[in-house]
Structure 1
């Protein structure tokens, strides 16, 4: 239903709020009560002087009667409706519970509080879905969790073996008996400590997905606090890696120092003024930046992802992996969060580039989510400079991705570009008939393998 068609509904609601009778309002604006009744039931269109008179009599601006619900509220309702999965009606009735999208404006206009609640719940569900992805990824692949469970099971097995010997061996030499008792005590202590540490860790996982368990996690968290930008590098300075706002572990400090040194060298070759000129002329295109600055494509991608936030500039995410496919750097975006542990979606251009070294790849991908969003992704696989003769070849793959709806004409998106549907990881991906699926999804009842 067009928004203008609901002007009468808003007039009736405003009149009721003001405590005015229909006849009194009709008399104030010089029309008959029957005509006002037709207007309030959206059977007569209204505009011009009559709309202005009605707005003045009701004490509101004319736009409040014609525009209806706020645009963000309506957009939120539309997103919630477009991503609602149809399901069976209650009581076994035939049909589906598809939302009545044609009456969304009426719902938002008559019940703005309930409409805002629906939008808030949609946002909460989206946040929880992303949290489930992160927690599932951690519980499935976290090496600390795997080692802890192995330690607990090994200790339980040792206690059971010792108890079995004491129970079934009959008379045992007193020295051996004391030794077994000491082993039982020590194993029991180790089991208690390990179980307590495991419970504490799981409690932390349940409360926050940002718990740090590896040096790389610590480095990424340190960069995230700085919006993945380091202003000191623009002046050729080094940030403080050890201070109050620095990194705790020496391993994380070592990783961060390597990243900072490379980023500083790239900032010297590609100063902000040069990058801004390239973006103004070509958009955030790593190929244009690489050609202008005389650097390789991967360096241009890393430089673009390290730019400070700026109004009008789209956010840019970055993922780097090594030759084994393990993610060695993650700069996530809202709606596109690479997994912290384990392998990601095999269809990402990141892994496609791994199969074709030195071949630049550009694809439009649709990341599954609520709502699904499309991204323009650039990827390149390049060998890292060898440190000595006869050294094994080591490659590194870099992928830069930008939300397509934030480009606003910036950058070159090929016409009729094929959209590639991707996910985060197979465990939490709901795409059916995926040719790259390597394990069943826990969010699909029936997974049809491609």
Structure 2
């Protein structure tokens, strides 16, 4: 029996098993979720599909999470086991991947423990990365630490004067005492704020920079310039307003309806061919596909950079790790496109976690100030989740060197905080000349 055939259990069967385990009548459950008993009977015998909304109602009524009733739960757990095996921390260990289904079926408890430990390790790794990034890039943290050092230096200087100088005029002594009180108060307030801020590091996904605020705004489906004032910082609001204006201009040039009509009329999913069919620039089509995410492009991500390589827009593809603003992986095909403007570059990329993506990179040149002005480069990289085994020529990429566990990368520019340093070879003492 195949792996899928051995473990594939349909949603209707799960619903029936759970209802019987609770000794609930079919009519009672059907009435509670707003359907007829006959329809629920068809569902339980896998003769009718279950919408996500109805599945949520049934799960709530049967007192289980929706994923416990979902079809393909075992397949998802097998995928999680394989993902754990592909993690860079498993280097040197060769698990029997072809027996993952049998392991899950024979040892469900051990499988659950292994998956829980794997998820915990990934979460701790993510927290380590977040803390390291905050310590390196967080402007508020750097400013607070500078304020603490400034207050401490001032206190030490004033205290040294009071201790070392025997004769100080009363008015100057009073002034020094006032300075001590003021600097002590400043140090106390700053330290308390710093402690509260460091305590907030445990909260995941907290935006640190204006660019990250804008990325969270984009992930929320925003695109209206009027929604930009909801962002916290002035810099984020300005950046969001600019991006929203550019998105509106793209939408006017390539409306949603036209893009949907072209996608429905052709089976081709090649953005280069789509751009040719519509007579539009490829970079415009790439931006619209990433922002609209129509059928066939679900989970699409997009990164845009300028000629210096700095990322100016980032919309993450689920499962593709992006670094903090100001950092990136030099092996991304995006940067190869900058060296070959007006040439579409398609490559498969593989993340350190073993996730495979199809990438399309394209760079443009422009001279907005005319012949006497500078030549500006702008690069786009569209990312799409891919299935199946990674091809032999897939690029092994990461988010950034400091948080990439691949020690043997030829483009590494600094040590990783996630990978052990290679062992140093002991020096062989030179033979003394006799």
TM surpasses 0.5: yes
Q: Which residue of 2 aligns with 1:297?
A: 282
Does the alignment pair 1:400 with 2:382? yes
TM-score (norm 1): 0.69
Query: Which of residues 337, 340, 345 is equivalent to 1:361?
Result: 345
Q: Please give the residue correspondences for 1:48-197 in structure 2 after superposition, counting only pairs within 5 Å.
A: 70-83=74-87, 85=89, 99=95, 104-197=100-193
Give the drift of 1:84.
7.7
Preserved contact between residue 279 and residue 285 of structure 1 (Cα < 8 Å)? no
Q: Which residue of 1 aligns with 2:364?
A: 382
Q: CA RMSD for the aligned pairs? A: 3.6
Q: Which residue of 2 aligns with 1:426?
A: 401
TM-score (norm 2): 0.71
Does the C-alpha gap of structure 1 residues 154 and 239 become closer, same or farther in structure 2, counting only changes over 3 Å?
A: closer
Counterparts of 1:395 and 1:137 in 2: how far apart (Å)? 28
Does the C-alpha gap of structure 1 residues 256 and 439 become closer, same or farther in structure 2, counting only changes over 3 Å?
A: same
User: Which structure would you say has the larger Rg?
Assistant: 1
Does the C-alpha gap of structure 1 residues 271 and 320 become closer, same or farther in structure 2, counting only changes over 3 Å?
A: same
Q: Which residue of 2 aligns with 1:241?
A: 227
Q: Which residue of 2 aligns with 1:438?
A: 413
Preserved contact between residue 134 and residue 339 of structure 1 (Cα < 8 Å)? no
Counterparts of 1:417 and 1:75 in 2: how far apart (Å)? 21
Secondary structure in 2 aligned to 1:443? coil
Q: Structure 1: which 5+ residue stretches go unaligned?
A: 8-68, 88-95, 231-237
Does the C-alpha gap of structure 1 residues 213 and 442 become closer, same or farther in structure 2, counting only changes over 3 Å?
A: closer
Does the C-alpha gap of structure 1 residues 392 and 164 become closer, same or farther in structure 2, counting only changes over 3 Å?
A: farther
Does the C-alpha gap of structure 1 residues 417 and 264 become closer, same or farther in structure 2, counting only changes over 3 Å?
A: farther
Query: Which of residues 175, 186, 200 is equivalent to 2:196?
Result: 200
Q: Structure 2: which 5+ residue stretches go unaligned?
A: 8-72, 425-434
Preserved contact between residue 278 and residue 284 of structure 1 (Cα < 8 Å)? no
Preserved contact between residue 320 and residue 398 of structure 1 (Cα < 8 Å)? yes
Counterparts of 2:143 and 2:269 in 1: how far apart (Å)? 43
Q: Deviations over 1:56-107 (max 9, x none)?
A: xxxxxxxxxxxxx9433334334434548558xxxxxxxx875465664444
Query: Which of residues 305, 311, 320 is equivalent to 1:321?
Result: 305
Q: Which residue of 2 aligns with 1:39?
A: none
Deviates more, 1:421-430 or 1:106-115: 106-115
Secondary structure in 2 aligned to 1:240? helix
Q: Deviations over 1:161-210 (max 9, x none)?
A: 121111112211222222222222222222222222222222222222x2
Give the drift of 1:3.
6.4
Does the C-alpha gap of structure 1 residues 250 and 100 become closer, same or farther in structure 2, counting only changes over 3 Å?
A: closer
Does the C-alpha gap of structure 1 residues 275 and 437 become closer, same or farther in structure 2, counting only changes over 3 Å?
A: same
Counterparts of 1:211 and 1:85 in 2: how far apart (Å)? 27
Counterparts of 1:393 and 1:259 in 2: how far apart (Å)? 22
Query: Which of residues 208, 214, 222 is equivalent to 1:219?
Result: 214
Does the C-alpha gap of structure 1 residues 351 and 202 become closer, same or farther in structure 2, counting only changes over 3 Å?
A: farther
Query: Which of residues 292, 302, 324 is equivalent to 1:307?
Result: 292
Preserved contact between residue 407 and residue 416 of structure 2 (Cα < 8 Å)? no
